[in-house]
A = this chain, B = another copy of it.
Amino acid sequence: MRAGILVTGTEVLTATIRDENGPWLSEQLSGLGVELVEILVVADHPGDLVNGLEHMKSIGIDLIITTGGLGPTADDLTAEVVAAFSGRGMELDPDMEAKIARVLARFAAGSSVDLSVDALNEANRKQAMIPVGAKALDPIGTAPGLIVPGQGEGDPLVLVLPGPPRELRPMWEAAQGEPMLRAVLDRATRLQKYRLRMFGTPESELAMSLREIESDGLSFDGLEITTCLRKGEVEVDVRYRDAAAGAAEELKEALRERHARSLYSLDGRTVDEVVAALLAGRRLGLAESCSAGLLAARITDVPGSSEYFAGGVVSYSNEAKRDLLGVDQALLDEFGAVSAEVAEAMAIGALDRFGADVAVAITGIAGPGGGSDEKPVGLVHFNVRTAEGGVRAAAPVIPGGRRDVRERSALVAMHLLREMLA
């Protein structure tokens, strides 16, 4: 069972808006064990849409899901194009017309703008035109979805969904109750999956481990292994059918043995989730210079973080380090703001000022200016400490531009915090 997603929308193709539907549907299909072959984004031009549909048919796709192009305006023509592609005419569905009219009447009544219901109805009658033999799906907004079967044996089934994610998502759920779609989805074999997360192992080293594990005798048949470098971490996704469950488990074990230090999540949890769990019952204070609030923002992205997060100082200037964190001016003069000594004093200050029992300090050179031979752009000093006297310090030179250095600083700090609390 192979599927393709056809995203229509000039605004998506021109990068005016981001496509949320392709990635979301991809995850849904993956959960159902459907192999997604491609996502194709085209403009609202009938010719491009037809080319996309024909291409997907030509490579043997069984299920095409289209998104967008179901609105009332003239450039919305997915329904007609799909009907023609599937060799079907269009006919008015009076029930659907009545449903849409009711939705529009409600909409007009609730609107502050003066809308003509008749004009709206006319513009939207178009949306009640359904390909002959297709199944219409009740609208969430005003546009019904469609399930359109092909004419010939082996022709793809086309599921036509609206563009707005808040309409598409519930309609996708509803569509799964429909026998025509169900019959196609049931041909897929559901895959199992796990995700490992690592921090500190380069992707090339992981690739070498995988080669060695295979040459040590573990068969990767039936395992689909994807490694991905994402924001400084490596993610390993393993998908497998039930028959390969043993091999999948052995692979996990082998990777755990080889990368005991960097492999920090065996259950898909992110470092943010791991750290949030470790912080329960504690009280955290922060002192950020170059990351300037990014670590605080990350910590508080987790609902309920107010239970353990007391607060932070973004001590961008030396005065702020001195006045709000109690960093000694002599340390700043002697070692400079970006130094192990100042990082330590910032962390001690954060413990003290927030009455915290664990604190993190970050001070570094984000660039593009401000670097020197001795202290290059990307040099960041970290100091993590607990009230009980535990300390972790590090001073890597983080590669990349200003944004990379700042974001990576928050990431490194999360991992130091994890190591400290684990």
Residues of chain A whose beta carbon lies under 8 Å from any beta carbon of chain B: 10-11, 13-18, 22-24, 26-27, 30, 36-43, 48, 51-52, 55, 58-59, 71-74, 110-113, 115, 119-120, 123-124, 164, 166, 200-205, 207-208, 226-230, 235, 237, 286, 288, 291-297, 299-301, 303-306, 309-317, 319-320, 323-324, 353-355, 366-369, 396-397, 400-404, 406
Contacts and interface: CB of A to CB of B under 8 A. Distances in A.
Given A11-B226, A313-B313, A203 B71 contact: yes
B310 A313 contact: no
B111 A202 contact: yes
A354 to B, nearest CB: 6
B37 A22 contact: no
A271 to B, nearest CB: 16
Nearest to A309: B316
A13 B36 contact: yes
A201 to B, nearest CB: 7
A179 to B, nearest CB: 28
5 contacts: A40-B40, A112-B396, A292-B299, A292-B312, A293-B314
A312 B52 CA distance: 50
A170 B422 CA distance: 40
A109 to B, nearest CB: 12
A49 to B, nearest CB: 10
B39 A319 contact: no
Contact of A226 (B10, B26, B227): B10
B38 A208 contact: no
Nearest to A124: B204
Nearest to A310: B317
A316 B311 contact: yes
A146 B323 CA distance: 54
Contact of A368 (B235, B303, B354): B303
A14 B41 contact: no
B306 A310 contact: no
A37 B42 contact: yes
Contacts of A354: 317, 319-320, 323-324
B115 A205 contact: yes
A38 B13 contact: yes
A367 B303 contact: yes
Contacts of A39: 13, 40-41
Contacts of A291: 297
B314 A314 contact: yes
A235 B74 CA distance: 17
A16 to B, nearest CB: 4
A65 to B, nearest CB: 14
Contact of A316 (B22, B37, B310, B368): B310
Nearest to A207: B73
B297 A293 contact: yes
Given A48-B38, A120-B204, A235-B16, A294 B297 contact: yes
A-B CB proximity, top 9 nearest? A293-B293, A293-B296, A311-B320, A15-B23, A292-B300, A312-B314, A11-B228, A39-B41, A293-B297
A237 B293 contact: no
A314 B311 contact: yes
Contacts of A229: 17, 164
A52 B41 CA distance: 13
